[in-house]
Structure 1
């Protein structure tokens, strides 16, 4: 990948970035039409951000989710049309400018799939047909928005071109859902292969080069990715393995910032935080000002815990735990990863720093350094 010039970014900074997605709005069925559910308005997002600044946090990667008219579900892809229930356009601009003083700021959007309420979408011209000439539409009878359709790659590129200047005007990045990890064959007056869709998507990714983050992108998107979100931390578990080998993370360390799935839903506790340190992956959370119970009967009711007041202390504590280890190896590559004994990992980085990780429930002594139970210790050329 390096020989091919794939990597054009580097991870830098004194502290690792904390990834926070602020969910602003979604919607559910009402007696007549849909009802927008406000979860965090512009003032709320700024208030939450200022709290973390007061706690001494200084490096962020922030995504705004459901910022668009009608909320997150059922309305993507969306033009830069802020929901005025959450704040005026001026309020949004002011919020983005304040966040950008300490953060990379992104708007979350989707250009590969289109939901049924998405604007500027023509069912006849934009919704893709499979090679069997049937619409590539996923139907969910129990969902608020029952139809989700694949767009022709040409439609994806058209919308991306149309919206590019609006993103540039705000000086924000974009988090692309599905772009970078989805290819498909389709029929559009002729038969087109996945390679054809790749070539068109590549134009889109090239347009947003260094201004976009991707969710679990494949290798062909690495050269365009400024951020890697939802980094996989486990194998498929379809077969039995002795251990997990972080091959992807080793390749991308120091080149592209990698972020975890939301730690709101971490069921492994401290061990998973150690795994993030082991794999050099940065923490992520999704937050809302209002209680997540308001999301009941929406299409994202799976976000069952996100309320800021419940999570703010945990966010600071877990970020600090991870940052105190990984801030010492920002931008560095992994020289070796050794497992001296079961449950013990020794990671040596290119700057000489060593991170010892103890997954076991008892204290261990490794090379003369005591590593606490379910904890880590620093060694080598630590400053």
Structure 2
């Protein structure tokens, strides 16, 4: 029987053997690619469950008594009164402490002098501007409360507000906006469950309260506040080029899954790190916080120009995205399309109304801090310290191509790192925290080929000895790691099976064919990393990318993730690292990460240099100082050395240097070649000198910033809880510290 099954022809025997070999190879590949990652259960992480905001459908409300402008009272909580004009659905809020009236739209009297006409004039009278598209088309059309055949039905929300349900009969579209007064002002939400699309029209975006508090051209003193870098101000009385008439950028930057990357792509602006915007007019101001749905939102600011004669700022919520759909897999040609599926995110914005001495960017930052603290999104207050911590990042080395092969170029061994730390301690640097990078076995950054630790710098044994030596000196050691982006040639993950999918369902690719690992898989993979580092005695992980600076969707039809899903799993991971190792650090420090980390490297401190933004202010530092330690740029990598040193002092940052024991030229052609001046021997004296200056601020390390002011041209002062006042003068390149507690 066996002889009958086995081919008698030599040719067929070879073909059968080849087929068997191929089958074995395929099975082996499938086996190696099967999911062998640790489970969330092993890490104590729960899968995310979404709870949608409720939509009211009980009893319809009709206005009773109205005032001279047609507004009826809806709710009053003793601090604020909510009014609504039933026909246009405009709202107004009375601050009962000051009597000031905040309007969703300019008054009829103000509009009498408006020069714009048609749809633009209608938009000025509506509490929202909705864009919609027809299925299969990309042309967007605006709708508002003045659109023909629009109807609105009202339902009271307990005693705190009202729900307005807007229906566009012709377009077969409907959605609800919920207005509520709070102890701080006004809360406005668009519940996803309230959206209805019953025809071939789709909602593309909703610009919520586009003219809330809008200020007529040059009629009042004040500014718009935008979340550019640490904070940006757009003054009402400035003359600007016509090309700088609007500001519209996504919170937390562009979603990589919706972005086309190419080899020449580079970051050209500071991505928004916190979901806040604001407006100041005279002695009144508001700070608006996007509490839900920031991951599909853009901050939108405009000055008088083509759309109106008003300074305005608002949030625009996107429900769908436009993208390039490839015509075929054979070419790069694509056609513009609108994604069919709608975002299911709820959206909620709180307008915190301010007055008097709180009606400026400092008051806005304090109000934002109160929100973060009350909603449990800030870490605990830092412990007081006798000496300011120096954040010392040490680079071990990296791989570089040489003579047709790659070889690891050693920049700092663990023994040399110990020598560097000892030298700084002996020279008077009293408090040091160490992060070590360039330790991965592959010799590359965006890799998961980490272990064993590269032998050229000391290997695992050297790492253990170094950590023990640091612990004996009371110094913590973290290792840098990379979690989101991966180099295709340096990863055990596979782009097609493990990488995220873009909005066009293709794998997202970056420079050199790099890709982003699906968040859930990346988080699960970290367990093995954490377990290994725990055995070495490492005190924590500093994530260079991923948590805190890169949020993305995954449009994989088999396991899709939203940006909010990614953030949830980031937060779970950060908490897990803290539990297992003791501490965790990140880069940039976007809002969702604040509660979950101990250290932020590269905290936003510079602007995007937009022509529209007149002044950069430390809004974000004011909001978080004293709850997390943060740095700006490494001292040895500053572009304008003295100015950036003073900026770190002004913004309450801690000192930070990124060093090597060897000459920095050894890093040339490695992944660390951007570190152009790093040799410890060259920088040691400068570090000691600079540390002594930073150490003057050790007493305010754990304190809130209570005040920030401009004293003169390029002269600023930052004041802390105990009265310590730090004045920096960018003209003389000096700073002074006065008042406060004495050391």
In structure 1, the residue matched to 2:661 is 289
The range that moved more, 2-11 or 281-290, is 2-11
**Structure 2 match to 1:365:** none
Deviation of residue 124 (structure 1)? 4.1
TM-score, normalization by structure 2? 0.47
Check conservation: 2:390, 2:691, Cα contact below 8 A.
Answer: yes
SS of structure 2 residue aligned to 1:236: coil
Contact persistence 2:635–2:645 (CA under 8 A): no
Q: Which residue of 1 aligns with 2:66?
A: none
Q: State TM-score, norm by structure 1.
A: 0.89
Once the 2 structures are TM-superposed, how far is the Cα of residue 45 of structure 1 from its aligned partner? 0.5
Describe the superposition over 1:321-360 as per-residue Cα deviations: whole angstroms up to 9, x where unpaired: 1222x11212111111222333332322111222232222
Q: 1:88-131: CA deviations, max 9, x gaps?
A: 32221010121233322110001111123435423443222223
More displaced 10-residue stretch of structure 1: 2-11 or 147-156:
2-11
The 3 A distance-change label for structure 1 pair 242 and 130 is closer
Is contact 2:577-2:584 (8 Å) kept? yes
3-state secondary structure, aligned to 2:633? strand
User: Please, which of 177, 181, 185 is the counterpart of residue 549 of structure 2?
Assistant: 181
1:196: how far off? 2.6
Identify which of 664, 679, 684 aligns with 1:307.
Answer: 679
In the TM superposition, 1:80-99 aligns within 5 A as 80-99=451-470
Q: Deviations over 1:55-80 (max 9, x none)?
A: 12121121101112132435x23444
- The separation in 2 between residues aligned to 1:269 and 1:201, in whole angstroms, is 34
Answer yes or no: is 1:203 the counterpart of 2:572. yes
What's the CA shift for 1:148?
Answer: 2.0
- 1:259 corresponding residue in structure 2: 631
CA contact (8 A) 1:78 1:109 kept: no
How far apart are residue 380 of structure 1 and its match? 4.4
Counterpart-to-counterpart distance in 2, 1:135 and 1:124: 6
Write the mapping of 1:57-76 to structure 2, written as runs, cut at 5 A: 57-74=429-446, 76=447
Q: Which moved more, 1:308-317 or 1:95-104?
A: 95-104
| Partner Cα distance (1:376, 1:95) in 2 | 38
In structure 1, C-alpha distance between the alignment counterparts of 2:593 and 2:717, rounded to whole Å: 31
What residue number does 1:364 align with?
Answer: none
CA deviations on 1:150-172 (whole Å, 9 max, x unpaired) are 00112111211222222333242
Could you tell me which runs of 5 or more consecutive residues in structure 2 were left unpaired when the two chains were aligned: 1-371
Hey, what does 1:342 align to over in structure 2?
713
- Paired residue for 1:37? 409
The match for 1:153 among 510, 519, 538 is 519
Work out the CA distance in 2 between the residues paired with 1:381 and 1:59. Answer: 20
Q: Distance in 2 between matches of 1:120 and 1:241?
A: 44
Alignment of 1:372-383 (within 5 A): 374-383=734-743
> Displacement, 1:28?
1.2
Answering whether residue 471 of structure 2 is matched by residue 111 of structure 1, we say: no
Alpha-carbon displacement from aligned partner over 1:183-231 (angstroms, at most 9, x marks no partner)? 2222333343222322332322232246210100211111111101101
Aligned to 2:185: none
CA distance in 1, matches of 2:401, 2:552: 32
SS state of the match for residue 727, structure 2? Answer: strand
> 1:354 aligns to what?
725
> What is the rounded CA distance, in whole Å, between the counterparts of 2:487 and 2:439 in structure 1?
16
For residues 123-145 of structure 1, the C-alpha deviation after alignment (integer angstroms, 9 at most, x for no partner) is 44322222322221213xxxxxx
Q: Which has the higher contact order (CA 8 A, sep 6+)?
A: 1
CA contact (8 A) 1:180 1:221 kept: yes
Deviates more, 1:193-202 or 1:34-43: 193-202
CA distance in 2, matches of 1:358, 1:122: 52
Do the aligned partners of 1:42 and 1:86 also contact (CA within 8 Å) in 2?
yes
After superposition, what is the alpha-carbon deviation per residue over 1:18-41, rounded to whole angstroms, capped at 9, x for unaligned? 111110011111234311111011
Residue matched to 1:271: 643
Give the greater-gyration-radius structure (CA). Answer: 2
For 1:118 and 1:9, the matched residues in 2 are separated by 38
Q: Map of 1:214-253 to 2, 5 A cutoff?
A: 214-253=586-625
| Per-residue deviation, 1:85 | 1.4
Q: For 2:675 and 2:416, locate their aligned partners in 1 and report how far apart those are by CA, in whole Å.
A: 18
For the residues of structure 1 that align with 2:464 and 2:691, how far apart are their CA atoms?
28
- 3-state SS of paired residue (2:718): strand
Where does structure 1 lack aligned partners over 5 or more consecutive residues?
140-145, 362-372
Candidates 159, 162, 172, aligned match of 2:528: 162
Task: Please tell me whether residue 172 in structure 1 is matched to residue 539 in structure 2.
Answer: yes
